[in-house]
Structure 1
Amino acid sequence: MHMPSASKLFMFASASFVTTVVHAGNTLKDLESTLGSYQSLESNFSQTTIGTDANVLQTLTGIIKMQKPGQLRWAAEDPFPQLIVSDGKTIWQYDEDLEQVVIQDYQKQIETLNFLQLLEKPTLISAQFVLVPDANDKGETTNADNDDSYRLAAADPASPIKKVSFTFKGNTLTSASFTDSLKQVTHIAFTNMTLNKPIDKTEFTFKIPDGVDVIHQQ
């Protein structure tokens, strides 16, 4: 999904920040089943992107709300306000500082491999990725934090997404990390997550502010 850096939520980046072991017995079907049980989620997030030289390229904090099918509200609050909204048909990306709204077709964007797509259709995981066992895994099934971690590698060497990692506490997603073809790493930590509580559809609509530039990429 080719959006400005605010949309890193949609793209995949790596497992570098994930330190929990990959428990013996965890399978792609387990991961698909857990994500498939999510009909909606609401959470605070902290998102960090790291370059190939280990320098921090970007840090964002904000709130994400997602509801199937295709509804999303991703609001970055710091260091500057940015907003991505989808109603399942149209995606609006609003950069307040730039006074600009980019409008895209949801269906065209969801066809690319991205975070929203895997939450919407988790069965795609086993078609696109293979599970990577931890090199130090001796078969233990528990750890100090009782977290479950899934580290994945792209099945297709030509994939723009090279590595993916998800970490859960129980059935609750606590972090997602991704590595892209440029070897940039994006880590998203989730806190105060609420699952499967209906979200008002007005959260997934967007009224274009007066006086802003509107760019159609549909």
Structure 2
Amino acid sequence: MKKNQTMRLSRLKQFAVLAAFISFPLLAGASGIEQFKNFLANTKSARGEFAQVQVKQEAEGKLRMGTPAMGTFLFSKPGKFIWTYKKPYEQVLQADGKTLYIYDKDLNQVTTKKLGSALGASPAAILFGSTDIEKNFRLAENGTRDGLEWMEATPKDKENTFQRINIGMQNNVPVAMELHDAMGQLSLIKFTKFEKNPALKADTFKFVMPKGADLFEN
């Protein structure tokens, strides 16, 4: 088989995998960037649920989906969030605006990092960071696909872990993300039950150290 034919088949397989994980009714709306900027301007906090899966490309262009991870998220801008994995393992990523706490329940271990260096131009910065998204990312339209209006965010820092991040928008809410890292791996995230601007208590994002947990500071 010729090289170009192989590449086309590989892309078709990738689209099939994405469609299997992300499926929405075919509705069109404002452009991806327009909806995303509306989301940034009008969303100070949000909560909901997510499903995440990693897609690996193996020999001969075959794609393999990993075990889906599921959980909940809660955030308040700028820089406050709780990202909780419930399946297949329990882990919490929590930030109070200054410090990022990573809690592994199985190990009963907490690792901390300064939020500034940890957030930067990461995928979390897009949803949980400041509204000045174009400070760290270049934005471009990425067409209509799977009933969503897509935009692409490319980190300006060439040494970033991620090469590009695609965001699928619907009704001014992000409902899907495709994270392409520097190693050629793809992670897919689907958001559901997305509630904008819920009322939150002042101490919602204060991290409470689990009893007996080991602490590691970075």
TM-score by length of 2: 0.75
Q: Distance in 2 between matches of 1:144 and 1:55?
A: 20
Q: Is the 8 A contact 2:45 2:76 kept in 1?
A: yes
What corresponds to 1:5 in structure 2?
none
Deviation at 1:172, TM superposition (A): 1.9
Question: Deviations along 1:146-192, whole A, 9 cap, x unmatched?
Answer: x3222345566655322221112211221111101101111110111
Q: Which residue matches 2:44?
A: 39
Q: In 2, Cα distance between the equivalents of 1:127 and 1:27?
A: 18
Q: CA RMSD in A?
A: 3.1
> 2:57 & 2:75 partners in 1: Cα distance?
30
Structure 2 alignment gaps of length 5 or more: 1-13
Relative contact order, CA 8 A, sep 6+: which one is greater?
Answer: 1
- In the superposition, relative to structure 1, how do residues 89 and 199 fare at CA in structure 2: closer, same or farther (>3 Å)? same
Q: Closer, same or farther in 2 for the Cα pair 1:82/1:126, shift >3 Å?
A: same
Q: Are the aligned partners of 2:35 and 2:172 in contact in 1 as well (CA < 8 Å)?
A: no
Q: Does 1:81 align with 2:81?
A: no
- Inter-partner Cα distance in structure 2 for 1:211 and 1:157: 40
* Contact 1:130/1:154 (<8 A) preserved: no
Flag as ranges the 4+ runs of structure 1 deviating above 6 A.
18-21
Displacement after TM superposition at 1:125 (Å): 3.4
Say which one has the larger Rg: 2
1:68 paired with 2:77, answer: yes
Aligned residues: 195
Q: Which of 13, 23, 31 is matched with 1:26 structurally?
A: 31
Unaligned residue ranges in structure 1 (runs of 5+)? 1-13, 138-142
Residues 86-137 of structure 1, C-alpha deviations (whole Å, 9 max, x = no match): 1111111110011111011112222x21122123234333752241544xx7
* TM-score, scaled relative to structure 1: 0.75
The whole-number CA distance in structure 1 between the counterparts of 2:158 and 2:101 is 32
Post-superposition Cα deviations, 1:190-217, rounded to whole Å, max 9, x if no partner, equal: 1111001222233312221222221111
Q: Matched residue of 1:55: which SS?
A: strand
Which structure has more helix as a fraction of its residues? 2
| Structural mapping, 1:67-216, within 5 Å | 67-110=76-119, 112-119=120-127, 120-125=129-134, 128-134=137-143, 145=147, 147-153=148-154, 159-216=160-217
The one-letter code matched in structure 2 to 1:117 is A
8 A Cα contact 1:148 1:170, kept in partner: no
Once structures 1 and 2 are overlaid, which stretch shifts more, 113-122 or 96-105?
Answer: 113-122
Identify the match of residue 55 of structure 1 among 36, 54, 64: 64
Letter in 2 for 1:113: A
